[in-house]
Homo-oligomer: A and B are copies of this chain.
């Protein structure tokens, strides 16, 4: 079976590591020829994943296509789907998620709990919504990795908003941020990974570290799983979906955002769960039975971001200290150049003891620096 991946970053890299367990023939489309995935596929095509003709030509002789980023040409995927190429997830599911306005409307239409929102077409438009603050302004299209999201607490900050079609979401009084990965097979069968609990870097607004399974009371856990499943099922497509949720101070659960693909919040499943999210996506694409999502041990993920103030060929300082930790697993994405905040790798740590997990995660964060 010939399967293409749109995008060649670290998610593609880990997908390709898992692909080598099967007989699948892999194709990658990506503009950067030294990207993390380039050398791990059978066929690499340099090209723009947002260009109709490039995506269509790449895909027309393939059996299936998946994505590792939403910023792809969906019209080309529509045409490919109409010609019999299987797309995971469906172009329609990507279309709903790619635009944050459409995504919010989708939640509303499907009665999925998500914070109240307004649509703003311009900065002028936004400035009329002072009464709606505190809120989060999210650009409709083109946001990624913390870009395109702006917290606006009060009127004086309103000019930080986006002068483009955006959603303005009521700020949730967040107790915990969690993520649930839902897997839907070609026959509609489902599997759910236990939620992961996230902690963010307040400066870079990027995921800092997370622990999994999330420490939640049973009622919240059930609510989160039910809501995540409802999101994934409403998208009406086979595939793997990461649903980011807020648990508020009153134990209500709200959908924040969904990603229709393997996700940063599931990196720990490589060592921490019996079937990794990467293996799971291949099982879905190849139409095999779904795997076992149970955790082996509680896991922490520490994201390795380029240290502030350093740009250039990456140097990994303190790697040895981290690899000495029992059950610490390092994943470096092979990016030649580091820059401040760039995702350069991650470390997964396994332990039965959450205190130990958090201790070792902090140690990893302090010891391991990516400089140039």
Contacts and interface: CB of A to CB of B under 8 A. Distances in A.
A327 B279 CA distance: 12
A111 interface: no
A277 to B, nearest CB: 15
Q: State the copy count for this chain.
A: 2
Contacts of A41: 39
A292 B22 contact: no
Contact of A274 (B16, B22, B42, B327): B327
Interface residues of A, number: 36
A13 B20 contact: yes
A288 interface: yes
Contact of A292 (B42, B292, B327): B327
A332 B289 contact: no
B40 A320 contact: no
A42 B44 CA distance: 12
A330 interface: yes
Contacts of A14: 20
Contacts of A292: 326-327
A155 interface: no
Given A288-B323, A323-B289, A332 B21 contact: yes
Interface of A: 13-14, 16-17, 20-23, 26, 39-42, 271, 274, 279, 283, 288-289, 291-292, 296, 314, 316, 319-320, 323-324, 326-327, 329-332, 334, 350
